Amino acid sequence: MRQAIAGVTPSSVQETTIWTIWPTIARFNWACWLGRRYLNNFGIANILTVGNLWAVATIPLHLLMYFVKLAPQLRITLKALGSDAELSIPGLCINYRLTNRRVVVQRLTLRLELFILPLQLEFVEDRSVSFDRFDTIEIIQRPGQQWYSSGDLVFRNGNVETFRIAGVPNPGAFRQTCLEARNVYVGIREVVDAA
C-alpha cells in the first residue's frame, strides 16, 4: 500500500485530483450583461419583475450559451504522403481542476486523425498555477455574476496577479479549498526542507 491514510497521496509521490469544477456561463461578458438585466427587481412582489420576465424570455438564448460552452476544441491531423498537417478549431469547454500540487485549467479536445481514423476525446492542460506561485486568492464578482452565484478567482503572489479563473460557481468554497490545499503543500515542503 502506497498510502498511509486511505485516499491521501503525498504530492511528492503522485499528483492527485482534489476537486474538479465546471465554470458557469457567467465567465462570458455577454452572460454577465444578461445577469445585470435579470437583477432588475422592478415589478410586483418580487415574482412578476422585469428581471424575471427577461430571464423567461431569454431561456432559448441560455440553452444556446450552455451548449456552446460544451463545444470541444477540434484538432484534425491529416496524415498523408508523409506530412502531418494539423487544423485546430478552438472550443469553449473547460474545467478547473484542483490537485495536491496546483490549480489547472483543462480544455476538452477532440482529436481526429484522418486516414488513420482514431478518434480521441480528452482533457488537455491549457494552463496552470503551482501552489508556490500564489499566497492569496481574491474573489472578484463582476456585475451580473451574482445572478449566477459565481465569481472570478484572482491568484496573487504579494500584489502581483499570477493566475485568474473566471465564472467559478460558489467561488468562496473553491477559494477556501484551494488555500487549504496550498497551506498543506507549503507546510509539508517547509518541514521536508528543514529536515
Give residue 12's pLDDT band: very low, low, confident or very high (50, 70, 90): low
Residue 188: inside a domain: yes
Residue 8: inside a domain: no
Using only C-alpha atoms, what is the Rg of the chain? 21
Highest mean pLDDT among 3-7, 112-116, 162-166, 190-194: 162-166
Residue 35: inside a domain: yes
Coil/strand/helix, residue 27:
helix
Residue 157, CA distances (Å) to 83, 102, 122, 185, 188 in order: 44, 14, 31, 16, 19
Counted domains in the chain: 1
Highest mean pLDDT among 10-14, 90-94, 146-150, 187-191: 146-150
pLDDT of the residue at 195: 72
Give residue 24's pLDDT band: very low, low, confident or very high (50, 70, 90): very high
The residue segments making up the domain with residue 27 are 18-194
pTM of the model: 0.83
Residue 1: inside a domain: no
Residue 2: inside a domain: no
pLDDT of the residue at 107: 93
